[in-house]
Amino acid sequence: MPRLIKTRCCFCHRQFHKDKRHLKWNEKLGHNSYCSKECESSYRRTGKWLICDNKNCKQKFYRILSGISRFNYCTGSCAAVVNNKKYPKWPVKYCKKCKNPFRREGSPYCSMACGKLGRFKYSKDEIISFIKNYYQSMDRVPPKRDLPEISHKAVHLFGSWNNAIETAGLTPNRSHDNRMYRRINEKAEDGHKCDSASEILIDNWLHENKIEHTRNASYPNTKHLADWAIHNGKIFVEYFGLAKDSPRYDRSIQEKINICHKNNIKLVSIYPENLYPVSSLTKIFSKFL
């Protein structure tokens, strides 16, 4: 029969009975005695009880000493909530539909529900009305980027933005990559090959007024070609027939203007309104000749 003697728990200090042989063995090894497994576990803990630093949580939790830092949170979710407010990844925006603040890249809506209400609230007739009103006020065909509030719905209802423009009775803008026009390769009176009927008119005018000119003169240090060069290449003549019609064409016009300015070359710029309905070439060239 084991001999039981009274002793005290090292954690809760409550008296309990323990086998004398076990007590002697613990004393020999330098071990303490505990009344229960719970007291033994609690005594061996080396951490602290902390309160979550998330003001909306304030939950009490235990953490070992090596895991305690300047800011302590009970879960990763609480840490994320606080850190996202302190160090936001995206700036605050206001929902286009409900006007509530939110943080998200790209979409102007705070949720899918607001997005559906905002993007899909227009009918075909309302979209056509938007496009026509824009055309009347701005005097140009609207690109998709200028009417973002209806462009998504227009593509959904009409199949594409250009289809919506054509349904409104307008001619769609050319894209950045579309081929700008089709060359006709006809000859003027002096035998020069021209790319359009308008270029033939200009070439014939130069010929009739006995102005020496050459076709496809090279711009300095570039692959660009001028339509004509006169006065031994000191003056370039360009017919910009697709100005404001193709973004790529407009960029090319600006590049040519910059090259002429940099190399002290005079540039005669001719546009469709200078030819139709009445030609004003005499007035234009009088400034340069």
> How confident is the model over 38-85, as pLDDT tens digits?
888 777 777 788 999 998 898 998 887 778 888 899 998 899 888 888
Nearby residues of 40 by Cβ (< 8 Å), 6 or more positions away: 11, 34
Nearby residues of 58 by Cβ (< 8 Å), 6 or more positions away: 51, 52
Burial of 98 (0-12, 13-18, 19+ CB in 10 A): middle
Q: How far apart are CA 135 and CA 170, in angstroms?
A: 9
Does the pLDDT at position 237 exceed 90? Answer: yes
Residue 273 Cα distances to 138, 172, 241, 270, angstroms: 19, 20, 9, 8
Per-residue confidence (pLDDT) for residue 178, from 0 to 100? 47
Q: How far apart are CA 18 and CA 5, in angstroms?
A: 6
Mean pLDDT of 243-271: 88
Mean pLDDT of 124-128: 87
Q: How far apart are CA 38 and CA 42, in angstroms?
A: 6
Per-residue pLDDT band at 204 (split at 50, 70, 90): very high
Per-residue pLDDT band at 260 (split at 50, 70, 90): very high
Q: How far apart are CA 35 and CA 14, in angstroms?
A: 7
Per-residue confidence (pLDDT) for residue 179, from 0 to 100? 45
